[in-house]
Chain A
């Protein structure tokens, strides 16, 4: 059995949302939880929404994803939160002002800049935009198994490049 240990992924950072919800409400709920758990500063909630409105992060692919993030100085402990949505949430496509995108998985990136993270982001994007990550992740009901999947398929790939 694989050791459930990761620098970024954690069972308390897996969110499963089953009801219809707006982007604003979604980011609000998760930001409050991230603040409570000590991952981010108090002002994270406003900042991440402002930034998503100014610089949208929706990416189209096999599964449409969004990668909301904010400035490194508001991160206390590095993390990647995984939000699995039963009902798609509308985000705006990256580099556009109002192209809407129905997003099914959201990754909230809580990390500082570095070469390691650049590769991590690219692996994450490739797995979900071009690969089968979306359907695999949605089929795993157990949070611990899901974290193991992320460690095995995303994080350990960093060492293989």
Chain B
């Protein structure tokens, strides 16, 4: 397994009272990263109202709701994971964070 000697990272996906959309994105990212051999991460789907709270301990934020705020952490396009368009580019960004 890759990532065993790397520090553990935390990713969050936010949507509004998630009816599966953020969970779908979170479980897809988890599966894709595990397929690439990474296990040094946690990923959580959170409600957008609690985003400010969770963002403090997150290493990246995957967005599927409009949000202009800048949290000083990488922000990724969550729609790419739902549709598959541009998905590998976004996945590579997470992999770079995991290797860091």
Q: In the complex the two chains form, is B83's CB within 8 Å of A118's CB?
A: no
Contact check: which of B24, B28, B65, B83 meets A55 at CB < 8 Å?
B65
Q: In the complex the two chains form, is A130's CB within 8 Å of B20's CB?
A: no
Q: In the complex the two chains form, is A95's CB within 8 Å of B65's CB?
A: yes
Q: A109-B20, A118-B27 are in contact. Are A59 and B83 (CB under 8 A)?
A: yes
- Report the Cα distance A120→B57, complex, angstroms: 31
A91 at the interface (CB under 8 A from B): no
Q: In the complex the two chains form, is B82's CB within 8 Å of A125's CB?
A: yes
A79 to chain B, nearest CB (A): 13
Q: In the complex the two chains form, is A122's CB within 8 Å of B79's CB?
A: no
How many A residues have CB within 8 A of the partner chain? 34
A14 at the interface (CB under 8 A from B): no
Beta-carbon contacts under 8 Å, B35-67 to A:
48, 63-66
Q: In the complex the two chains form, is B20's CB within 8 Å of A51's CB?
A: no
- Report the Cα distance A109→B15, complex, angstroms: 15
Scan B1-42; emit 1 where CB is below 8 A from any A CB, else 0: 000000000000001111111011001100000000000000
- Report the Cα distance A59→B78, complex, angstroms: 11
Q: In the complex the two chains form, is B78's CB within 8 Å of A95's CB?
A: yes
Q: A55-B15, A122-B28, A125-B82 are in contact. Are A94 and B64 (CB under 8 A)?
A: yes
Q: A118-B24, A122-B24 are in contact. Are A111 and B19 (CB under 8 A)?
A: yes
Task: Closest B residue to A114 by CB, please name it.
Answer: B20
Q: In the complex the two chains form, is B17's CB within 8 Å of A95's CB?
A: no
Chain A positions within 8 Å of B82 at CB level: 59, 94, 122, 125, 129
Q: In the complex the two chains form, is A72's CB within 8 Å of B66's CB?
A: no
B29 to chain A, nearest CB (A): 12
Q: In the complex the two chains form, is B19's CB within 8 Å of A54's CB?
A: no
Chain B positions within 8 Å of A93 at CB level: 79
- Report the Cα distance A111→B83, complex, angstroms: 21
Can you list 5 A-B pairs, Cβ within 8 angstroms, ordered by A?
A67-B21, A95-B77, A96-B66, A129-B84, A130-B83
Q: What is the interface of chain A, defined by CB distance below 8 A to chain B?
A: 51, 54-57, 59-61, 67, 69-72, 93-97, 109, 111-115, 117-122, 125-126, 129-130
